[in-house]
Amino acid sequence: MSTPLSDFKKTLFLSEADKQQGFWMLDDTHFSRPLTPLFASFMLPAVTKGTQRAFETMKMPLIQFTVKTDHGYYYQSMPPHPEPFEERMSKHKNKMEELYPQIKPYLERIVDEFYMPFYNKLSERSAGSLSLQEALLDVEELQQFYTKAWQYHFEITIPRTSLAIALEETYGQLTGSANTKEVYDLLQGVMNMSLETDRGLWLMANQVKSSPLLRAVLTATGNPAEALNQTAEGRDFWRDLQSFLNIYGHRTAITHSFTEEIWVENPSYALSIIASYLQQDYDFDAEFKQVVAERRAKAEELFERLPAGEMTNRFRKIYEWALTCWGVDEDHHFYIDAMIAAKSRCFLKNVGRSLVQHQVISGQEDIFFLYLDDLLEVLRDPKPLHTVVEQNKHHYQEYQSIQPKPYFGVPPKLLPDPVVERIFGLPRDVTEAQLNTMTGYAASAGTYTGKVKVINGQEDFAKLQKGDILVCKTMTPPWTVLFPIAGALITDAGGILSHASIVAREYKLPAVVGTKVATSILKDGDYVTVDGTNGVVSIGTV
């Protein structure tokens, strides 16, 4: 006999009534794996409440993203605002115009005033012992922080994506071009935290290349950390690596998770990337300088041929706004999506240690398999929850093998907001691809033929070799460290303004995203041709 769901858990799980009454779309762009109980407990209510506040501020035509889980997978419903659509959209567009010039300053301000002070507090609470009462207050404060954090997240990302769409539309009206995505070539070569991280790893690889000792350590089998600490030069390099990770190491390949080990906890992930960079002759600074020069030349050529007038003036203004804030897409992920999960993980592990001491759970990371209401209850009144943890772990493992449905309910006749479509892609049934082709979004132009490597997580990063075609379910900014190695990119999830698409264009990497089936059909060693211009992958092409 199953235990009745608590009121809190009912807010997390998709019921049969939910599935019948609404339309729920799987978000496999950001959540390609099942969510653990504790992460779902923080994330789902935060997005539901945070978007309600943010969407009202921005006069969105949607009330909110209502978020729930089915078999651990993340589904969202997008109820329309009750105001007449045209009236609401007019208010929304006016609000967006007001916000466009403020996107980057707004992010910088709230990072300095809101996010970093709380992250610093979490870091302090991640070390040393916590009483259960202290842990209870801190967990409750983290819950409140999550909601505000995700409100700010959408107050940044929605205007930035809306601005991209406005730029694309104005470009099309002005030039008559059918391929409006080419306007994104005018936004390449804008430094951001993802590229800054990639550059830092490249600089460290150059340091290793210039040292026979360091090169020998990083290319040998065994434990590089142990070997580095045997010599003065190795210890200096190790300190440099630690300094780098203290800034850039709050990341993991699966961003939206508490269970994934982060780089600052385990430097071997960064070391494996540095070692892979040793195999190639790549100059980040020269490549970036070339991209910037090409972008400037294209922009200059375009403005020289555009006719004088109001439309050109508007395009120039929108373009300048977009160029100023283009790095925000990667920067917000660095400071919000990645860092909130990483900092929370370290703090919650410390809470887990307190629960182990009180014999509530067996290991500190068992805390991730408790729902928040159960966690708060045992922090108030400790009692063993070993059976609950094991049951939740068992369910989580079962969910790993499930192919989640792309949606529940009947798709609405009206397409969703274009902002949603650009980031997530539209829901499609996962049907068998044609025998020799699969299609997706044309994310980054160019054609490339090569050998497939399917990468499931950061534990697979080291197997990608120079020129391999990177195939994955989805990707977040921490994956961009692989782009200097890869020859092309194919993903199951995403749209043309997803992280994968934006950074692929930055690296001039042919990319097709949102195929839905690539990781199910392709396997290591398959030869394919990636046509990033037309969004087609041809299988078996040599």
Mind telling me the catalytic residues?
499
| Cα distance from N-terminal residue to C-terminal residue, the chain | 56
* Tokens at 521, concatenated: 């059909």
Non-local CB neighbours of 23 within 8 Å, separated by 6+ positions: 77, 78, 407, 408, 409, 410, 411, 412
Helices and strands (H and E) in the chain: how many: 21, 12
Phi, psi of 317, deg, nearest 5: -65, -45
Sign, Cα dihedral of 433, 179, 329, 278: positive
Q: Which residue has the tokens 């040292």?
A: 211
Angstrom distance (rounded) from CA 42 to CA 510: 36
What string of DSSP letters covers 165-200?
A: HHHHHHHHHHH--S-GGGGGGGG-S---HHHHHHHH
CB 339 within 8 A of CB 111: no
In the sheet where 527-531 sits, what is the strand order? 437-439, 536-539, 527-531, 447-454, 469-472, 488-491, 511-513, 441-444
Angstrom distance (rounded) from CA 48 to CA 28: 17
Angstrom distance (rounded) from CA 28 to CA 374: 27
Angstrom distance (rounded) from CA 327 to CA 331: 6
CB 526 within 8 A of CB 486: no
User: What is the residue type of 115?
Assistant: Y
Angstrom distance (rounded) from CA 115 to CA 149: 8
Determine the angle formed by the axes of helices 232-248 and 212-219, rounding to 10 degrees: 70
